Amino acid sequence: NDYALLLVGGGYVSMVNGSMPLATIVSGPGNSIDGVGNFQGPIMLQDSSTSLTMGLNGLIFTNITLAGGTISLTSDMYLANNVVIADSGTVNLQNRNIVFGSNSSTWNGNINWYGNGGTIDMYANVDLTGTWTINGIVEIKGRNHTVHLGDTAEIIVASGSTLELGGVILDAAWG
């Protein structure tokens, strides 16, 4: 893609119904995306000093690259089929849900999940090869699907934190 949307330190996009076809490159702190609409292009955070607040009512159709950065949800986030949060970084669910698509997916990055009653909502099996660290109170709602833990995968519950498993099958026998 030859064109991109660039959010740099305090950048703001508010969707008013429709679709964003461009790649979105996010750099620096205090950026936000909200409104109603779908993101067709990838969302790429640049580094560990990058933060993005997401309050989008719509689907995300391409992977999100954290690159060590942080995404904080102010509304539920819906990932389309085959979409994952790639690379490593932080997702602050707060009390919101992240809803995975209905096709099996592979999650390779190391993600710090923060929540205050937030939910990781699975509609298909997940192959995990990285580390998910749970901070605060987070539920994985599996809907009778499986998280396959690869040879290097871990789910770590940080000190003082709670991971609730609802209808999820943990399987460490693949790979």
Q: Does the pLDDT of residue 174 top 50, yes or no?
A: no
Neighbours of 17 (CB within 10 A): 10
The distance of Cα 50 from the centroid of its chain, to the nearest Å, equals 15
What is the rounded average pLDDT of the residues 73-96? 97
d(CA 9, CA 21): 22
What is the rounded average pLDDT of the residues 155-163? 98
Instruction: Count Cβ neighbours within 10 Å for each residue of 146-170 and write b for 16 or more, e otherwise.
Output: bbbbbeebebeeeeebebeeeebee
What is the rounded average pLDDT of the residues 71-91? 97
SS (H, E, C) 137-155: EEEEEEEEEEEEECCCCEE
Sorting pLDDT into bands at 50, 70 and 90, what band is 25?
very high
For the chain, what is the mean pLDDT? 95
Transcribe 63-90 into DSSP letters: PEE-TT-EEEESS-EEEPTT--EESSEE
Percentage of the chain beyond pLDDT 70 is 98
pLDDT in tens, 99-147: 999 999 999 999 999 999 999 999 999 999 999 999 999 999 999 999 9
pLDDT in tens, 44-53: 999 999 999 9
Name the pTM for this structure: 0.95
